[in-house]
Structure 1
Amino acid sequence: MTIRIDRAMLDALVDAARGSARRRLHRNLHQDAAEPVQRLLIAIEPDSYVVPHRHSAPGKRETLTLLRGRLGLILFDNGGRVQETCLLEAGGEVLGVELAAGVYHSVVALDTGTVIFEVKAGPYNPALDVERAAWAPAESAPAGRDYLAGLHALFAANQA
């Protein structure tokens, strides 16, 4: 089956993300969690907090390619200190990244309507796939808003 990733698909995903409680939404392109390659589109809004996390299983590299908008990527050491940031811009200098397994990371949307294409090794097992950072606030915690603001501040010079 051919799946076309077109403007209408991205527009619908962005609209759905804007209406979701988490202010982000994904659409799987793979048929099920058992597939050896997981491929998905993620629409994310600037007020969506992605808890720093890592994929520790060997071979769980993650590739992010920006299709729309601007995205800030933050890499952390095991204690939560920022080690590196990277600005991804659709049509810009950096369009995507490949992350090694075991690296704590988070992303922040810097534009409304930002869309990412993500690829990582499967199969997907929710119990084992993601390790959330113990040093970062939970997504639902009140401190998450302040933490998100701090992540955005890392890219303040790049804000439009």
Structure 2
Amino acid sequence: MLKIISNQDFDTFAENAQQAPRKRSHHNLHEQLEANVQRLFISTEPDTYMRPHRHSEAHKWELFLVLKGQLDLLIFDDNGNVTQRHSLSPTTNRAIEIPAGTWHGYACMESGTVGLEIKEGAYIPTPQEDFAPWSPAEGENGADEYREWMRTAQPN
């Protein structure tokens, strides 16, 4: 079956993120969580907090493409220091592939941002040990401040 995603769909994705409590929403293209390849649109707003994490399984690379708006990708070392920062947008870098085991997090820089994430499946929720221990969990005290820090943090 053909799956066609229109500009109107992008607007709907963005509206869903604006209305969501976490200020982001997902639209899966894969039909089952067990699919060998996970393909999903992720819509984000600047108030979302995407906690730094890694995918520790050797086959869990992540390809991310920004189709509308801007996300900044931050790469961290094991101590939580920013080692790289990359802008992703239609006018800068469109896509980036993150190797397995790499600490990373995203800062949404523009309202209405829509990206496409592709990674090997099946979907397994991120285990606690793959969330950065030096960053607050979503909803914890300090998470909003950490999110704001991520919006401007630069490599050391």
TM-score band, normalised by the shorter chain? over 0.9
Q: CA deviation at 1:59?
A: 1.1
User: Are residue 60 (structure 1) and residue 70 (structure 2) matched?
Assistant: no
Cα gap change, 1:59 to 1:39, in 2 (>3 Å): same
Could you tell me which amino acid in structure 2 is paired with residue 22 of structure 1? R
**Structure 2: 5+ residue runs without aligned partners?**
none
Give the aligned partner of residue 130 of structure 2: 131
Q: CA deviation at 1:93?
A: 3.0
Q: TM-score, normalised by structure 1?
A: 0.92
- Equivalenced residues, count: 154
Contact 2:61 2:119 in 1 (8 A): yes
Q: TM-score, normalised by structure 2?
A: 0.94
User: Are residue 74 (structure 1) and residue 81 (structure 2) matched?
Assistant: no
Cα gap change, 1:61 to 1:130, in 2 (>3 Å): farther
1:31-74 deviations in whole A, cap 9, x for unaligned? Answer: 10111100000000011010100111011110000010011100
RMSD of aligned C-alpha atoms? 1.5
**2:50 match: secondary structure:** coil
Mean Cα deviation higher: 9-18 or 124-133 = 124-133
Cα gap change, 1:99 to 1:9, in 2 (>3 Å): same
Within a 5 Å distance, the mapping from 1:78-117 to structure 2 comes to 78-90=78-90, 92-117=91-116
Q: Distance in 2 between matches of 1:129 and 1:32?
A: 23
Give the aligned partner of residue 31 of structure 2: 31
**1:51 match: secondary structure:** strand
Moved over 2 A (4+): 127-130
Q: Distance in 2 between matches of 1:132 and 1:150?
A: 17
1:17-42 deviations in whole A, cap 9, x for unaligned? Answer: 10000000111100101111000000
Q: CA deviation at 1:130?
A: 8.0
Cα gap change, 1:141 to 1:72, in 2 (>3 Å): same
Contact 1:55 1:130 in 2 (8 A): no
**Structure 1: 5+ residue runs without aligned partners?**
156-160
